[in-house]
């Protein structure tokens, strides 16, 4: 909403900065330079300064950045004051791993409902997250606008349509399927097989000792 001039590449790095600032703060560090931050998050220091500068002059020349101030700034920028509820569809191997992981530690994100088609899973819960039948999506999904998709790829398209109908406008898709969505819906793909394969490709085809 606010000012949508933040480059996408920058926006993707914000959570990373936020996490490291949190670490620093917990360690009691009071100030940090773009150079230090750069070494920690492996992003060029000029890029970090540029990223920060989109939000105004957050640092002080010759000093660096005040950890607490910066942390507070990003906390509100990333809406960390309110918990974001997320639904998970497909409580299989991958889905279960996510359900057992607490994203709440550093990020105010919580998976509050899971859905599956397997009758033996429906009605149970995993680490406190209840598993509903996927047919109950319509009744149970209200208010939730982000979903994690970990169903078999053959089901991805059909489930996506349901999700979108129920008002979901952000999907984190772990299936290999490239799903079709209306323009107002944002999909991030995480394709493990592709990641692995492209890593192997890079190793075999790129010079070994310079990036």
Ligand X SMILES: NC(=O)c1ccc[n+]([C@@H]2O[C@H](COP(=O)([O-])OP(=O)(O)OC[C@H]3O[C@@H](n4cnc5c(N)ncnc54)[C@H](O)[C@@H]3O)[C@@H](O)[C@H]2O)c1
Q: Rounded distance, CA 128 to CA 199, Å?
A: 36
Tokens of 15: 């959570």
CB of 93 to a second copy, least distance (A): 4
Count the residues of the shown chain that bind DNA, applying the rule CB under 7 A: 25
Binding of DNA by 72 (CB under 7 A): no
CB of 87 to ligand X, least distance (A): 11
User: Which residues on adjacent β-strands are paired with residue 85?
Assistant: 110
User: What is the Cβ-side half-sphere exposure of residue 135, based on CA atoms within 13 angstroms?
Assistant: 5
Binding of a second copy by 38 (CB under 8 A): no
Q: Which is nearer to ligand X, 34 or 175 (CB)?
A: 175
User: In sequence order, what DSSP letters do the residues of 137-156 get, joined into one string?
Assistant: HHHH-TT--EEEE-S-HHHH
| First vs last C-alpha separation in the chain | 37
Q: Rule CB under 8 A: choose which of 65, 73, 98, 115 binds a second copy.
A: 98
Q: Which of a second copy, DNA, ligand X, none is residue 123 near (CB under 5 to 8 Å by kind)? A: none
Binding of a second copy by 188 (CB under 8 A): yes
Phi, psi of 105 (to 5 degrees): -45, -65
State the residues that interact with DNA by CB under 7 A. 7-10, 33-35, 43-47, 49-50, 52-53, 57-65
């Amino acid at each position: 909403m606010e000012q949508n001039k933040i480059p996408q590449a920058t926006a993707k790095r914000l959570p990373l900065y936020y996490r490291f600032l949190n670490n620093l703060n917990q360690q009691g560090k009071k100030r940090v330079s773009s150079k230090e931050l750069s070494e920690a998050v492996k992003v060029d220091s000029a890029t970090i300064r540029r990223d920060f500068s989109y939000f105004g002059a957050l640092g002080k020349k010759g000093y660096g950045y005040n950890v607490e101030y910066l942390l507070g700034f990003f906390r509100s920028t990333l809406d960390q004051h309110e918990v974001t509820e997320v639904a998970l569809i497909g409580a299989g191997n991958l889905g279960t791993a996510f359900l057992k992981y607490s994203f709440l530690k550093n990020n105010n994100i919580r998976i509050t409902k899971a859905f599956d088609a397997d009758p033996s899973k429906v009605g149970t819960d995993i680490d406190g997250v209840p598993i509903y039948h996927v047919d109950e999506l319509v009744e149970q999904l209200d208010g939730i606008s982000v979903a994690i998709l970990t169903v078999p790829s053959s089901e991805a398209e059909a489930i996506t349509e349901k999700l979108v109908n129920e008002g979901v406008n952000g999907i984190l898709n772990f299936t290999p399927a490239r799903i079709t969505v209306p323009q107002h819906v944002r999909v991030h793909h995480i394709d493990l097989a592709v990641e692995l394969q492209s890593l192997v490709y890079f190793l075999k085809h790129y010079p070994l000792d310079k990036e």
